[in-house]
Each structure stands twice: as structure tokens, then as C-alpha cells.
Structure 1
Amino acid sequence: MKAEGDLKMRRWNLWASLAVAIFASCISTFAQEEKKKEPPAVTSYNVGYRILDFKYKDESSQEKTLTTAVWYPTDAEEKDYEYGGGYAKGKVALDAPVSKKGVPYPLVLYSHGYSGSGVAAVFLTEYLARSGFVVVAPDHNDDLSAVRIRGGADANLPKIWENALKIARSEKSFDHKKFEYRLKEIRFACDKILELSKEENSPFSGMIDEKRIAIAGHSLGSYTALGVTGMREKDERFKAAVYFSGGLFWDEKEFSKIKIPAMFMYGETETYGRGILGLSDLSVKTIGAYLWCDGPRFCLEVKHGTHMTFCERVFKENTPEIAKEQVRLIKEYTTAFLLKYLNNEPKADDVLSRKDKMLTRYYYDFGIRYEVETKKNIAYYEGEDADAVKHKLDIYIPKGAKSFKVVMFVHGGAWCMGDKDQFLLPYDYVGKAFAQRGIGTVVINYRLTPQVVHPGHIKDVARAFAWIYKNIEKEGGNKERLFVCGHSAGGHLVALLGTNEKYLKEQELDFKALAGVIPISGVFKIESNLLGAFGNDKENWKDASPIDNVKENLPPFLLLYASSDIPGLSSMAKSFADALKAKKNEFRLLEIADKTHITVITSIGKKGDRTTEEIVQFIQQR
């Protein structure tokens, strides 16, 4: 009986802790009293703070109060302040006049999570005001609340957790009508603050620039923000949006409705235990949403982050050192995003175009697409044994880009088939897909079996690489940022180029010339004379096997394979990754979901394609 009781207790503890970590919003906790060192803001103000009460009628004509917190720039002296009856601590000038230095200011609406409050993320809302934004955050009229702007809250925390879990589990049958009140409330808060900005005698008179409005939200607040920026309705006033941790109650393809600049942010550990609770993988959902958005887009996975990292509980969930870094990151990237898309601030790109040490994953796309200039059938080798067809390459140039990064692509075909200009599906789609994203692309041919056997194929690949290295600067490319990518047999060849240095040395180059290697569904171990491509000499097989040539100090690798790949390729990729890890090399191994050995490559350049995005991110972040 005791064992059974212990098991029940463990299940209860797991349920409770995961429910809190995933969806409970901002349970009362004091923020650390010591003020953290702020990351630099473009403009620095003191923070003014007011609490407003707006009256409105709900769907049943019942009068409701929308208590709303407002942070704004001021020149008045700040004093210590306790939010929500002690929920959080900050420093503000209460009811102070608005600073006239930068009026009118951009506006950010903030929507909190289920059972939370407008003061859920004081570390962020205060910082935005300090950086020259007005922030308006209402207390949504949820059925239960753990904290309120004016203090006071429901003590029934188990009920809050239970309701939050029900909301999360209803993902596939989500009742959107049940939460329409939230969309109405956030729009209403926006209406009222704009009215006050227009009133001559209002303390907020002239405070807001109506053309520069954004919205942010956490958890169910993220759902609220999504709901008014295209997923349920489109409020044209919102020019950019930040979505923290979930609220993604739609199929990923539906996120093509999001046309404005969008930033998604979630915690690294948020996916832990979700399967036990019957919840979908938040990282998969968030990255999927990012992939399908139409405008400029950003997706951040915060190191050690939980669901509560994006509100004041961050100071209780990790060590002070980790919490400090998480808060710094959230403030820096959120502010940079808003400065770029509301203020057109050029300095913001310095933050948004780099992967911070506190990000375990980072995807970014400024939405820039280049026209592509193509140069076809350039000879990369002209020796006595040159082949008039197979020693040719095509260059795809992003017109107008300066010193652009370059990727060489090597096609597959079992070392005995394939061509850059092959019938039905020539590989120009690969060249154009990456060049449109600002990455110069060179698609090569190489001699095939039975014309050659190993090392004939890899010698051609090395020749092509050397030609690109020596000539790409003439086309505007940066030879110091030259990557290689290949599919299937091409994946094998680029992996071999990145592990067996002798083929580069034959071209008077070495691994320093390789910025990165991207095998897609590649072969990493040769154990037979595959289709006559490797002969019968076992020493030749070893020379041709990337896994047998792994050593320290190799170029970084991105290893991609399909969820329904050719049998054996996924396990081979994992073994190759283990070999790279054993020698302390940099690599990332990733399975591309819902793809086969063929579609993992033929989908490149298509909307929402994960393979394309992973390759682009690997290249542009190096």
C-alpha cells in the first residue's frame, strides 16, 4: 500500500510541476530585489507608471472592468515600487508626466497568460518603457487569476493548474469562441489608450504614434496576440508581434496568415514531459509556425528556459546567474526586434543577425529576397582528360549582395547517375532557392561510374571546390565563407571532402578553406563495391569512408536525414555524429520530419520547408 501511495504521490508531483512549468501563469513570487545590469538601450528614459480602469460590456451586456497597467517614458524621478500586492518589484515614477523628449512614442500591447496579469513580465515591460516605448497591459477577465495588477488573487492554485492543462490538451479541438473575450479586450485596451493620446487634456496627450504599434503575449497571451494579427482576425494597427511560449492552436500551414514581422520565443526545457501529459512538442510547433509565416520572422529557443522564463518567475526557476542571462537575452532580442520594425533602427540588425550564447536554437529571416543571376556551364577543369559535360558548373548569384557566402551543391544518384541539368527536375531549383536568400550557390557536375571509380568522383568534387575558392570573389562571393552541401551520394562526397584532407591538399587547399559541410541523407561508411563505384580493395573502401577518416579539428557539420529515409541511412548518420562527437568536432544532427529520401531534397525552396531553413541558418550564422 505504501508503494502504491508513493507512486500516486510521484504522479501528483509530476502532474503539478509540469502543469506549472507549462501553463500556469505567474504564480505569486517576488522578483529579486537586486537590480540587474540592463543591456544598452538606444534611448534611455526613466519609467513612468499608471493604472487605468476601462469599462466595457461583454457579449451578455454585462459591464466589465479592464484594469490596465501602462508604462511609458518619463523624466521624473523613479522610486522602488511593488506590483500586484508584492508579486514583483521594480522602479517607476508613479503617475508621472510623460517625457516630451521623444513623443510620439511607439506602442506595445502586452497580453498575459491564463490566470496571469498585466504585471506578469515587469522586467520586460519596464525595460521597453526605458527604451522609448509605451507598454499597455490589461488584466484579462479570465475565470481564475493567480495575480492582479492591483493585488489580490484566487488561492485555488490546483484549479488553475487543472484548467490550464485542459486548455493545453484541447489543442486539436480548441474552442476559439471561448476566448474571443481576450481578443476583444486587447483591442479595447488599444482603442482606449489611443483615445487618451488624442485627448488634449489627457495626461497621455500626444504620447503615441498610431502608425507604430506592436503586440506581444505569453502563453494564452501569445494565442491572443496571434488571434488579432491574422489567425482569427487581422487588426491592421499591429505592425509587428512577439509570441512567447505557445498558444499555437492551429495547424502550422495556417501561420501563412501572419504577414507582419513575427518573433517566436520559447524555452529549451518546455518540451520536457509534454508527451506524458498528452501535449504536442512545443519546439516542433513553434518552428513550424515560424517556417510558414510570410513576413520577416525570428524563432528563439532560450537555453535552460521553461514556460515561466518569460515572466517574473524566471528569478525563481534557475540560478541567479542563468536567470540574469535569460532576462538579458529576452530584453535584448525583443527590444531589437521592436526597434527594427517600429522605429526602423539600423543598430537592431547587430543583435538580430547573431546567435547569442543563451540560444540553443535560433532561426532568423529578414524577409529579403534577391533576384538571381545565373551563369551556366562554366568549366572548372580543363586538363587533358577533361569531360565536356561533367567538368562543368553553374553559378547562382544573389544580385546586389556584397561579399556573399557561398555553398557548393553536389547532386546524388548512387555515384553512377544524375546531372545538374537532369531531365524532369534539374537542380537549378536548389541554386535559386539559396541565392534568393542571399547565399551564392554553385551546382556542379562530376564524372560518374562506370566512367570512373573511387577516387575519381571525389577528385572532381575537390577540383570544383578549388575552382570556386579561386574564382568566386570575381562574382562577388566571399571565398572565406565557402560551404559544401550534397544529397545522397553527393552527401557522401561532401562529407569525404570534409574528413579526408588529402583531396583538398591535392588542390593546394586544406580544411581551413571549408566553412562548413552539409550532407543530406549521406552515406558515411563504404563496406562494399557499391554499384561498382569503389572497386574491391578494402583499403579503398576505408579511404572513401568519411566515418573512418574522422579526426579532430574538422569543419563544422550539419547532418540531415529524412524520417522515412532509405533503411540504414539514419543509423549511419547517427554513427557518424558519434564519431564527430568523440573527436570533439562541432556538428548538429537533425531528422527532417515527414520526408523521404527523395522529398527531403526535392522540397528545397518550397514554402515551409525545414531542410531549406536549416541549411540557410547553418550558413548565415557562420
Structure 2
Amino acid sequence: MLNMSKWLMVLGLLMVTSLGVFAQDDDFIYGDLLPDAPELAARGEYGVGVRTLELVNPDQIDISNTRNDPSVRYDRPLTIEVWYPAIIPDDAQELTTYESQLGRADQNNVEPFTFLGRALRDAEPDTSGAAYPLVIVSHGYPGSRYMMTYLTENLASKGYVVVAIDHTDSTFSDTGNFFITLYNRALDQMFVLNEMARLNEEEGFLNGLVNADNTAIIGYSMGGYGALNAAGAGYNAVLQTFLPVIESRMAGNPDYEASIDPRIKAIVVFAPWGGDLSAFGRAGQGFWDLEALAGIEIPSFWVAGDLDDVANYEAIVSLFDSAVNSERYLLTYANALHNVAPNPPPPDVRDFPDYERYSEPAWDEARINNINQHFITAFLGQYLLGQDYEVYLNPAVENANDGVVDLDSDGNPTENHTYWAGFLPRTAVGMSLRVEHAAP
């Protein structure tokens, strides 16, 4: 229990950060802080710029025309969005307009919609802290490079170059067959990593800005499927039965083992798909043999809803349990489904399928966004920036509901204080954070 004077004291201390951003504008923009946002959700010290780049990955297997003939090739285009620390002129607003889509191309019901973000288009990079760690963001199927702007902008303000991929044939505007996604996810992520390293060395706004040797991949759903593979979890023979040309990404394949890139220092996976194939009529099977997860030897942060019926929560936990060589964290939202990663639903959407794509029935999506900002700030700060966020990543109690607020007369935690660090009293509820250390 917490008496009123102590409650007011800790409330005042923690809300200093929150109110600073929330009071800037009466119009809520994705990523803004709610009054109950945890401490580390607040934006960082940098202004944020944003630019769009078009890339081409030459001579790739064309999965739209084959699943078993590696000689069928094409040049694969990719659009990426880059957020970066930037200089915001005094006479400019740190605002931009993003255009995404409702519906999906394979259902012939695509409609564009726009929303605001807190970044300045084509702003001059702030090189004062360069070179910055690289964060690559990979959406679900279908999805968009703009699905997680609450997080991409937030991380850029904290000293990262953040790149979100539009995975060709996997976006709302060009939804293609699912096998294209199964084949290309990890390959797209690795290609973008290589391209960012190249652009850092060439003339242009990214010159000298990016430390690609210090990279994290953030993947949602199918993006998580790709991130796990990029990080060291080779696929199995079950996937090969659907997609014979996936052999080069399979566990035990020498080419795959050689492709594991030491520049990738950490991954964040939201509701990673591929651990349960009930949707394919293969309940109990997945695209990894569980021992393959031991190939992940870098820190990993996992986020899931315990009612996820798309990726299947039990399958996610099984993958997490099997990643025994990774220092790993599992944040679980109680009573949440699969949408623990995206922006909130567009405010004017009234069509249920489009609303359902972004919403969580038992949660405020903006609240989930703030919690994700908080924990991913701590995780990437710990493992990419080398800062000490242990108090946020290793709570005294796994289940937030069990936390106790106990402060002395000066407002300092006593030995009986077990409340999650950074959360206001009465706000760390409905979550658990499980921590498992890498095997010695």
C-alpha cells in the first residue's frame, strides 16, 4: 500500500518527463505520450529528420514465378524510410505527413490515408553524435514502412538511424503471394543492412552518419520471422516442403551459417510468426526445429500478447524458451492478441477489417505504444549504446501486478519496493516481463 503523500511525491517525479511532450500540442500524434506513459517513452534530445529512398537488390530469385528454380531471377525493388537525428531550424515545424493504405491489393480495396508524424522531411542531419547505431524495422504481412512511426521517430530522437522497409509484394498496396514474403524477409533485412553500410561511405546525407557495425533488427510478425533467421535461427525442412529454394536459409547449410552477420548486435521481435502452422493445416509444426533457436547468440527482446491467435502465444513462448544462447526478455501483454506492435487505428476508420488490423480489444493501442517505447529504449540503450538500463530490464517481480510501491519519507524506494522502474503507481498492470540469461 502507498500513502497519499508518498504517492504524490513519486507521481510528481515521474510525470516531469511525460507532461513536457504531452502538453506541446492539443492534437495527438502517434507516439505522443499519454499521461500514464512510463519514463523512458519520452523522446530524446535530437530533432528528427525523415527521407524516402529507393533501392534495388539485383539478381534475386523471382518467387512470384517459381518456388523451386533458382535460375528464375529479377531485380528486386525496395522502398525504405529513413529517420535520423536532425537539425530542426527555428522557423520549421518538426512535422511531416505520411501516406499509407487501408485495405490490401489482393482484395482490390486499397484506399490511401494520411497521418501526421513528428519529423521534418529532408532535414539536415545532426552529425554531433555520429556515427549512430542502425535500427532496421520490418513490418508484418501485409504491412507498411509506416506501421510503427511511433517507434521509428522515437528511436531516431535518441540517437539511432532507423530504417523501415516496404517489403515488395508484402505491403498493403502491392500484396502478393505469401511465398514471396516467406523467401525474402531475412534477405531484405540483410540487403538493407549492406546498403546502409554502403551509403554511409558514399556522398549523400547518410555519409558518416551510420554505424552499420552496431545494428539491431526490429521485426513484427513476418518481420520477426525474418529477424530470427537473420540472427541465427535457420529454417527447417518443413519450410522447404513449401518453398524448395529456401535451402540457403536453412539450419546446417554452410552458406546460411556463413551469412550470420556479426554487425547485428540485437533483435526485437513482436509476435514473431512461424512457430505454429495451424493456418497451413499443420498444427504442432513450425518453420524451425527448436534446437535451431540456439543459433541466436545475441540479445533478444520479445513482445507478445497472451491471447495471440495469429502467431500463437504458446508457439512464441516455445521459440523464446529455445533461444538458450541469447540473453533474452519476454514482455507479455495480458489479454492482448497479435497487434502489440503497430500504430493505433486511424481515427476515421469505421470499417472493421481495417480497424482490427491496428487495434487491441482490451488495450489502448497508444498505451501499448508508450510501453514499447519505454522497454525498447532500455533494451537498445543497454545493448547498442552501452548504457546502464538494468533497473528497467530486470524488475524485482516478473508479473507487474505483484509489484509493491514502498517509499521512505524522502520518496526513496525501500528494500520492500518491487514496483517496475519507470512506471507511475497504479500503471504497471496487465503485463509480465520474463528474463532468461544466455547459457554459460
Distance 1:295 1:34 in 2: 32
For residue 364 of structure 1, what is the aligned residue in structure 2? 435
Are 1:109 and 1:136, in contact at CA under 8 Å, matched by a contact in 2? Answer: yes
Alignment equivalent of 2:383, drawn from 305, 330, 341: 341
Correspondent of 2:149 among 117, 122, 136: 122
Shift of 1:61: 3.4
1:237 to 263, 269, 285: 263
Question: Would you say 1:254 and 2:292 are equivalent positions?
Answer: yes
1:263 to 287, 301, 324: 301
The verdict on how the C-alpha distance between 1:43 and 1:92 changes in structure 2, with shifts beyond 3 A counting, is closer
- Find the counterpart in structure 2 of residue 217 from structure 1: 219
Q: Show the 5 A alignment for 1:384-399.
A: none
Displacement after TM superposition at 1:340 (Å): 0.6
**Where does structure 1 lack aligned partners over 5 or more consecutive residues?**
1-30, 147-152, 168-174, 275-279, 370-622
TM-score by length of 1: 0.46
Instruction: Sort the Cα spacing of 1:100 and 1:329 in 2 relative to 1 into closer, same or farther, 3 A.
Output: same
Q: Is the 8 A contact 1:32 1:89 kept in 2?
A: no
Counterpart of 2:32 in structure 1 is 36
Is 1:306 the counterpart of 2:337? The answer is: yes
Secondary structure of 2:113 counterpart: coil
Is the 8 Å Cα contact of residues 302 and 358 (structure 1) preserved in structure 2? no
The whole-number CA distance in structure 2 between the counterparts of 1:34 and 1:55 is: 30
Deviation at 1:202, TM superposition (A): 1.4
Q: Secondary structure at the residue paired with 1:334?
A: helix
After TM superposition, give the deviation of residue 183 of structure 1 in Å.
2.1
**Structure 1 residue 292 corresponds to structure 2 residue 322:** yes
**SS where residue 81 of structure 1 aligns?**
strand
Distance 1:298 1:219 in 2: 17
1:439 aligned partner: none
Amino acid at match of 1:89: L
Q: 1:305–1:326: 8 Å Cα contact kept in structure 2?
A: no
Distance 1:312 1:46 in 2: 21
Q: 1:298 to 1:180 in 2, by over 3 A?
A: same
Instruction: Identify the structure with bigger relative contact order (alpha carbons < 8 Å, sequence gap 6+).
Output: 2
Deviation string, structure 1 residues 418-453 (Cα, Å, up to 9, x no partner): xxxxxxxxxxxxxxxxxxxxxxxxxxxxxxxxxxxx
Structure 2 CA distance for partners of 1:351 and 1:310, relative to 1, 3 Å: same
Counterparts of 1:303 and 1:219 in 2: how far apart (Å)?
Answer: 18
CA distance change for structure 1 residues 225 and 358 in 2, over 3 Å: closer, same or farther? farther
For 2:141, what is the secondary structure of its paired residue? coil
Contact kept, 8 Å, 2:30 with 2:344, in 1: the verdict is no
Q: Deviations over 1:121-141 (max 9, x none)?
A: 111111111111111112112
Alignment-mate amino acid for residue 221 of structure 2: S
Q: Deviation at 1:366?
A: 4.5
Partner Cα separation in structure 2 for residue 361 and residue 289 of structure 1: 17
| Residue aligned with 1:269, SS | coil
* Letter of the 2:392 counterpart: V
- 2:75 aligned with 1:47: no
Within the candidate set 164, 168, 176, 1:137 is matched to 164
1:67 alignment partner in structure 2: 79
Corresponding position of 1:82: 98
Displacement of 1:265: 0.8
Q: Contact conserved, 1:112 with 1:120, CA < 8 A, in 2? A: yes
Q: What amino acid does structure 1 have at the position aligned with 2:83?
A: W
> 2:373 corresponds to which residue?
331
**1:97 matched residue in structure 2:** 124
SS of residue paired to 2:223: helix
**Contact conserved, 1:183 with 1:224, CA < 8 A, in 2?**
yes
Partners of 1:358 and 1:75 in 2: CA distance: 38
Alignment of structure 1 residues 200-211 onto 2, 5 Å: 201-211=203-213
Determine the C-alpha separation between the residues in 2 that align with 1:192 and 1:127.
23
Shift in CA distance, 350/318, structure 1 to aligned 2, threshold 3 Å: same
Identify which of 200, 215, 221 aligns with 1:197.
200
User: Are 2:190 and 1:187 equivalent residues in the alignment?
Assistant: yes
Structure 2: gaps (5+ residues): 1-26, 62-71, 101-111, 235-255, 276-286, 347-354, 401-419, 421-427
Kindly name which structure, 1 or 2, has the bigger radius of gyration based on alpha carbons.
1
CA offset at residue 253 of structure 1? 3.0
The 1:251–1:45 alpha-carbon spacing in structure 2 relative to 1, beyond 3 Å, is: same
Shift of 1:86: 2.9
CA spacing shift, 1:314–1:250, aligned 2, 3 Å: farther
Shift in CA distance, 296/321, structure 1 to aligned 2, threshold 3 Å: closer
RMSD, matched Cα: 2.8
Distance 2:95 2:181 in 1: 40
Q: What is the identity, as a one-letter code, of the residue corresponding to 2:217?
A: I
**SS of the residue aligned with 2:199?**
helix
Could you tell me which amino acid in structure 2 is paired with residue 259 of structure 1?
E
* 2: CA distance, partners of 1:87 / 1:358: 33
Q: 1:252, 1:326 → 2: CA distance?
A: 29
CA displacement at 1:206 relative to structure 2: 0.7
Matched residue, 1:56: 57
**Native 8 Å contact 2:134 2:215 kept in 1:** yes
Bigger helix fraction: 1
Secondary structure of the equivalent of 1:69?
strand
Whether the 8 Å CA contact 1:303–1:326 is kept in 2: the answer is: no
Displacement of 1:194? 1.2
Kindly indicate whether the alpha-carbon contact (under 8 Å) linking 1:308 and 1:314 is maintained by their aligned counterparts in 2: no
Matched, 1:108 2:149: no
Counterpart Cα distance in 1 of 2:121 and 2:30? 20
SS in 2 for 1:118: coil
Q: How many residues align?
A: 305
Deviations 1:553-603, CA, capped at 9 Å, x for gaps: xxxxxxxxxxxxxxxxxxxxxxxxxxxxxxxxxxxxxxxxxxxxxxxxxxx
- Return the alpha-carbon distance in structure 2 between the equivalents of residues 88 and 289 of structure 1: 35
- 1:185 deviation in Å? 1.6
For the residue of structure 2 that corresponds to 1:310, the secondary structure is coil
Contact 2:300 2:329 in 1 (8 A): yes
SS at match of 2:56: strand
For the 8 Å contact 2:30–2:366, the answer to whether it is kept is no
Deviation at 1:268, TM superposition (A): 2.8
Cα-to-partner distance string for 1:304-326 (whole Å, 9 max, x where unaligned): 43212311246752589732321
CA distance in 2: counterparts of 1:80 and 1:208, whole angstroms: 23
Q: Which of residues 342, 346, 351 is equivalent to 2:392?
A: 351
Instruction: Give SS of 2:129's match.
Output: coil
| Cα drift, residue 361 of structure 1 | 2.9
CA 1:353–1:359 in 2, change beyond 3 Å: closer, same or farther? farther
Deviations 1:280-316 (A, max 9, x none): 7x22222222222212101111234321231124675
Instruction: Output the CA distance in 2 between the equivalents of 1:137 and 1:33.
Output: 19
For residue 116 of structure 1, give the secondary structure of its aligned residue in structure 2: coil
In structure 2, C-alpha distance between the alignment counterparts of 1:324 and 1:100, rounded to whole Å:
31
Structure 1 119/324 Cα, relative in aligned 2: closer, same or farther at 3 Å? closer
Give the percent of matched residue pairs that are identical in Structure 1 and Structure 2.
26
Please say if residues 111 and 217 of structure 1, whose CA atoms lie closer than 8 Å, have aligned partners that are also in contact: yes
String of CA shifts for 1:32-62, please: whole Å, max 9, x gaps.
Answer: 6476227445842111100000122222332
